[in-house]
């Protein structure tokens, strides 16, 4: 017999508050729970662990894997073309406007993601996921018609506000697993994210501006001539549509109302008192986890945005003068290497060196990663001269630059393993 979500969260939060020295040990984040209920729940967990890990619901996890791909692909496919979107005439201002666009996305997501999670608790995971897929598909398509900064800004805000599926899918995986197989189930998320980081930039870089990349075929279509960044957005929207189909056809609702009714006796005793996100974040134990995660997220997200800008910017202005297709190829390759490291290499390293030692090592790589940016620009200037054009990097300078790019992105993927 599985204990309810409310009981599990209440027991966990009661223990956290006690360890953190909170004034009221019984004021759990999801309401207080009696000692008797928590003791019984812990006994059930001990029995489950003693029996060995519960078999993974592989079919449902594969469905979650497919659905997980949609949102990060829609997010990442804009990176290779962000600085070439045509909203500014001065390349030196591209970084500012690119930063505004991505900040708008992040702020909109921050203001809405917890609301989407709360809504999925009330009406179920499936309908909220479908709303998220529809929102991601529409916002991606609209972004493809961008020809002004205001249009691009509006669509990025819309995309961020409708990007709640990651939190909902995490909750769904938690619903369908238990203490004995959580770790293996959530590994699917890491792999899906790396695959998406590989596919998204590749789509954005390869299919942007088909008048240049496919001049004899797709480049002849007038629609793509007028809107050169519509094609990758159409492909991304198709991926989202496939994810929505998997949600409708194969995903089984994990937040069942009948399950909540079966645990009404427990719920009546717990008397849940939901607290704000700020109350949760201020708990000493939670803050010790959330603060490193926040800093790591800032480092990783900044890396993706800054690299795209850096690679596109002309050499005299501090960049590498790469085109969107090359940027997409570089980021996609990094995503592939990250997936291989996470699935094959990381488990062995963790077994031999331990979690804390690996975490410290991966975090120590971030300074070196960012320090490589000016070094790469210096190499580009040395090998290609001081020309001020986009074509200033000739073939003679490509090899050392690409070696540097590989080194930078490899360090980034290793440093990002701190998430795992």
Residues 210, 89 contacting (CB under 8 angstroms)? no
Task: With cut-offs at 50, 70 and 90, classify the pLDDT of residue 276.
Answer: low
Structure tokens at 127: 């309908």
The model's pLDDT over 4-31, given as tens digits with 9 standing for 90+, comes to 434 444 444 433 333 444 444 334 444 4
Could you please report the per-residue DSSP string of 167-213? HHHHHHHHHH--TTTHHHHHHHHHHHHHHHHHHHHHHHHHHSSHHHH
Domains in the chain, start-ordered, CATH in brackets?
A: 1-52 (no CATH), 57-274 (1.20.1250.20), 287-420 (no CATH)
pLDDT for 219 equals 80
**Does 385 have pLDDT greater than 70?**
no
Structure tokens at 298: 């800032």
Residues 103, 227 contacting (CB under 8 angstroms)? no
Can you tell me the distance from the alpha carbon of 32 to that of 272, in angstroms, rounded to the nearest whole number? Answer: 7
Q: What are the angstrom distances between the C-alpha of 408 and each of 245, 330, 374, 378?
A: 38, 10, 11, 14
* Coil, helix or strand at residue 276: coil
pLDDT for 192 equals 82
Report which of residues 262 and 122 the model is more confident about. Answer: 122
The model's pLDDT over 100-158, given as tens digits with 9 standing for 90+, comes to 887 888 889 888 888 898 899 889 999 999 999 999 999 999 988 887 778 888 988 99
Share of the chain above pLDDT 70, in %: 74
pLDDT (average), residues 233-243? 93
Report which of residues 94 and 163 the model is more confident about. Answer: 163
Angle (CA) 239 241 242, round 5°: 65
**Does 260 have pLDDT greater than 50?**
no
Mean pLDDT rounded to a whole number for the chain: 76
Structure tokens at 398: 């490509």
Residues 6, 20 contacting (CB under 8 angstroms)? no
pLDDT for 350 equals 76
Query: Residues 332-354, buried b or exposed e (16+ Cβ, 10 A)?
Result: bbbbbbbbebbeeebeebeeeee
Neighbours of 37 (CB within 10 A): 18
pLDDT for 264 equals 43
pLDDT for 13 equals 41
Share of the chain above pLDDT 90, in %: 14
pLDDT (average), residues 259-281? 51
The model's pLDDT over 349-368, given as tens digits with 9 standing for 90+, comes to 877 888 788 888 999 999 99
pLDDT for 275 equals 56
DSSP state of 263: T
Can you tell me the distance from the alpha carbon of 408 to that of 22, in angstroms, rounded to the nearest whole number? Answer: 44
Neighbours of 362 (CB within 10 A): 19
Report which listed range, 186-190, 240-244, 378-382, 402-406, is most confident: 240-244
The model's pLDDT over 202-221, given as tens digits with 9 standing for 90+, comes to 888 788 888 888 888 888 88
pLDDT for 133 equals 94
pLDDT (average), residues 326-332? 81
Can you tell me the distance from the alpha carbon of 129 to that of 228, in angstroms, rounded to the nearest whole number? Answer: 30
Q: Which residues contact 38 (CB under 8 A, 6 or more apart)?
A: 10, 11, 14, 15
Task: With cut-offs at 50, 70 and 90, classify the pLDDT of residue 82.
Answer: low
pLDDT (average), residues 248-275? 59
**Does 89 have pLDDT greater than 80?**
no
Structure tokens at 268: 């009546």
Residues 116, 167 contacting (CB under 8 angstroms)? yes
pLDDT (average), residues 266-285? 59
Least confident range from 34-38, 68-72, 237-241, 350-354: namely 34-38
For the chain, the first-to-last Cα distance in angstroms comes to 30
pLDDT (average), residues 404-414? 88
Structure tokens at 61: 């996890």
């Amino acid at each position: 017999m599985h204990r309810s979500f409310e009981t599990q969260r209440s027991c966990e939060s009661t223990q956290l508050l006690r360890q953190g020295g909170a004034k009221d040990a019984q004021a759990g984040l999801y309401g207080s729970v009696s000692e008797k209920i928590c003791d019984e729940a812990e006994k059930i967990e001990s029995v489950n662990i003693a029996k060995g890990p519960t078999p993974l619901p592989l079919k449902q996890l594969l469905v979650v894997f497919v659905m997980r791909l949609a949102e990060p692909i829609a997010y990442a496919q804009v990176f290779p073309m962000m600085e070439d979107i045509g909203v500014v005439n001065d390349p030196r201002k591209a970084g500012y406007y690119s930063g505004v666009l991505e900040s708008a996305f992040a702020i909109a997501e921050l203001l809405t993601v917890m609301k989407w999670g709360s809504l999925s608790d009330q009406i179920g995971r499936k309908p909220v996921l479908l709303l998220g897929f529809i929102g991601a598909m529409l916002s991606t398509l609209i972004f493809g018609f961008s020809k002004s900064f205001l249009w691009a800004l509006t669509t990025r805000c819309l995309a961020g506000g409708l990007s709640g599926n990651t939190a909902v899918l995490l909750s769904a995986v938690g619903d369908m697993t238990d203490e004995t197989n959580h770790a293996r189930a959530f590994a699917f998320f890491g792999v899906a994210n790396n695959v998406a980081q590989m596919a998204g930039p590749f789509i954005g870089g390869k299919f942007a501006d088909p008048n240049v990349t496919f001049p004899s075929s797709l480049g002849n279509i007038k629609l793509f001539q007028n809107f050169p960044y519509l094609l990758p957005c159409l492909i991304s929207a198709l991926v989202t549509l496939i994810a929505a189909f998997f949600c409708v056809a194969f995903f089984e609702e994990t937040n069942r109302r009948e399950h909540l009714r079966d645990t009404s006796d427990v719920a009546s005793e717990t008397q849940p008192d939901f607290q704000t996100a700020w109350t949760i974040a201020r708990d000493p134990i939670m803050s010790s986890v959330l603060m490193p995660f926040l800093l790591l997220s800032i480092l990783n997200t900044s890396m993706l945005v800054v690299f795209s800008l850096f690679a596109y910017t002309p050499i005299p202005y501090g960049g590498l003068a790469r085109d969107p297709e090359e940027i997409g190829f570089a980021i996609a390759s990094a995503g592939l290497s990250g997936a291989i490291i996470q699935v094959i290499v990381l488990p062995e390293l963790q077994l031999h060196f331990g979690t804390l030692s690996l975490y410290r090592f991966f975090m120590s790589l971030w300074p070196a990663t960012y320090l490589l940016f000016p070094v790469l620009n210096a190499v580009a200037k040395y090998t290609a001269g001081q020309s001020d054009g986009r074509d200033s990097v000739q073939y003679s300078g490509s090899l050392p630059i690409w070696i540097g790019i590989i080194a930078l992105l490899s360090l980034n993927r290793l440093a990002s393993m701190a998430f795992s």
